[in-house]
Amino acid sequence: MPLINKFAYTSPGPRSHNQDSILVEILPSADLLCGVADGVGGNLGGETASQLALDIIAAAMRSDSSISLLEAITRADEAIKDAAQKDGKLAGMASTVTVTKLIGNKLIGANCGDSRTYLLRGSGVKQLSYDHSEVARLLREGKLTKETAVDYPRKNILDSALGAHKPLQVHEFECNLQIGDRIALLSDGVSSVVSKKDFRDLSVKYNSLNEYGASVIELVESRETRDNYSLIIFEI
């Protein structure tokens, strides 16, 4: 397994509760498992949903290295629905998730909702995840342009999330990493104020991973995100 540098940060931002959860874990098989989940739901619902999502995914990956991320996410979806059904205070809770597993130089990932995974290579950036959101779907269908999407009023409407009463949509992705590549996992509290171009420009500017991560967080705070925000970056 190549040497991996890691940066991880989560904050409630301007809100009183942090409904984001993050996961960075070395699995017994020497794989690196990372995840960002962004919960929704009243009171403790969002916090419970995002933490439960990552707990179930991590437990599944620890118990059996052959389990796919799709299967682990499906189990998490069922667990969130089950918990919400048993406790009325948690009714309506749901969570997005983006999760990656690194095996050697091979990255395997999956996501549901609008938490994202980016690949930063050289002077380029590529979104590996797929936004399951109304605004992203309308963009893909050509019903919105990038310009009109900026002020679209229903940006926070998700087409799918774990625990939600909509069909579970999971996007799977994989790629072979090269030495020097950086992978960023982030919640929409980051992506709502920091563009892919910003991610790329700051990655090119900072050789140190810690300085790079800190510069992204600084930008999130200076642009006054209105949400909880979470960021994991690792490089090989």
Distances (CA, A) of 31 to 24, 58, 80, 94, 168: 11, 12, 26, 27, 26
Residues above pLDDT 70, as percent of the chain? 97
What the block records as the tokens of 142 is 């050509």
pLDDT at residue 156 in the model: 80
Which pLDDT belongs to residue 152? 85
Summary count for the chain: helices (H), strands (E): 7, 10
Cα-Cα-Cα-Cα torsion 20, 79, 167, 85, nearest 10 degrees, comes to: -100
What digits encode the pLDDT tens for the residues 47-60? 999 999 999 999 99
Nearest-Å Rg of the Cα atoms of the chain is 17
pLDDT of residue 147: 83
- pLDDT band for position 61 (50/70/90)? very high
pLDDT at 159: 93
For 118-158, how does the pLDDT look when each residue is reduced to its tens digit (9 = 90+)? 999 999 999 999 999 999 999 989 999 888 888 888 878 89
pLDDT band at residue 2 using 50, 70 and 90 as cut-offs: low
What's the whole-number mean pLDDT along residues 18-39?
Answer: 93
User: The domain containing residue 52 runs over which residues?
Assistant: 5-235
Domain tally, the chain: 1
Check which CATH number belongs to the domain holding 77 and give it: 3.60.40.10
CB atoms within 10 A of CB 160: 20
Is pLDDT larger for residue 129 or for residue 64?
A: 129
**69 Cβ contact list (under 8 Å, min separation 6):** 57, 61, 99, 101, 108, 109, 110, 172
Residues 6+ apart with CB under 8 A from 215: 202, 205, 206
CA distance 61 to 234: 19
For range 78-104, the mean pLDDT: 95
Taking only the tens place, the pLDDT of each residue in 68-86 is 999 999 999 999 999 999 9
Quick: pLDDT tens for 181-234.
999 999 999 999 999 999 999 999 999 999 999 999 999 999 999 999 999 999
Where does the pLDDT of residue 43 fall: very low under 50, low under 70, confident under 90, or very high at 90 and above? low
Query: What is the rounded (10 degree) CA torsion for 193, 145, 153, 77?
Result: -70
| Model-wide pTM > 0.85 | yes
Task: Give long-range contacts, CB 8 A cutoff, 24+ apart: 48-51.
Answer: 48/83, 48/90, 48/93, 49/19, 49/80, 49/84, 49/90, 49/93, 49/94, 49/95, 49/162, 49/163, 50/19, 50/20, 50/21, 50/95, 50/97, 51/21
Share of the chain above pLDDT 90, in %: 84
pLDDT confidence of residue 1: 52
| Dist CA 117 CA 102 (whole Å) | 13
Which residues, listed in sequence order, are joined to residue 107 by a DSSP beta bridge?
Answer: 102, 175
